[in-house]
Homo-oligomer: A and B are copies of this chain.
Amino acid sequence: MTRPGGRSARVRDAVHDAVVELLAAGEIDAAIPKIAERAGVNPTSVYRRWGSRDHLLLDAAVTRLRATSPIPDTGSLRGDLSGWAEGVERSMRDRHGQILLRALVATLRPDEKPLEYLQARGEDLQEVLDKAAARGEAVPTVDEVLDFVLAPLYLRVLFRRPIEPGTGEKLVERLLTALPAGPAPSAA
């Protein structure tokens, strides 16, 4: 764990910034020495901390994409999911967000170890769903949230289709409308 204001956190932020800036400048193949130079840190620290360029890219993309769409605690499932979906939509309408999603997907080779990114987001979402179920609300499964809300937004970016404002909220409405009344079986 790193303290928010600690040196370790500052290095991480600087290196993540450098990754995003280089990707945004079209330097999608920038290697660790170039990234370290831009971040003003020693390449050795970068190798020691992240091991490889792919791990660094993955960490930068996952950290930044999660940070742009935190899940609020509004007291209702509709409010929580809408707040989160608006954040995802906003980051997917933003050029940096699009670049990070592309970098994330490009870095994931098939046949590699399972990905922790969606798992981490899945755990955030599960917590929200559990709270809603405890309040007696009907809740979807995490997979349903990913299918109904995240997949359509991500696919629009990956295939360069425009994202109309309000898409995130519309997708959440669609998900909630599809729910059977009362708590879902998975919440029983």
Contacts and interface: CB of A to CB of B under 8 A. Distances in A.
A150 interface: yes
A159 B117 contact: yes
Contact of A155 (B95, B98, B146): B146
A98 B108 CA distance: 12
Contacts of A102: 105, 110
Nearest to A113: B160
A40 B158 CA distance: 33
Contact of A110 (B114, B146, B155, B160): B160
Interface of A: 95, 98-99, 102, 105-106, 108, 110, 112, 114-115, 117-118, 146-147, 150-152, 154-155, 158-161, 171, 174, 177-178
Main secondary structure of the interface of A (DSSP, over half): helix
Residue in A95, A115, A151 whose Cβ sees the most chain B Cβ within 10 Å: A151
A106 B106 contact: yes
A180 to B, nearest CB: 11
A174 B147 CA distance: 11
B178 A105 contact: no
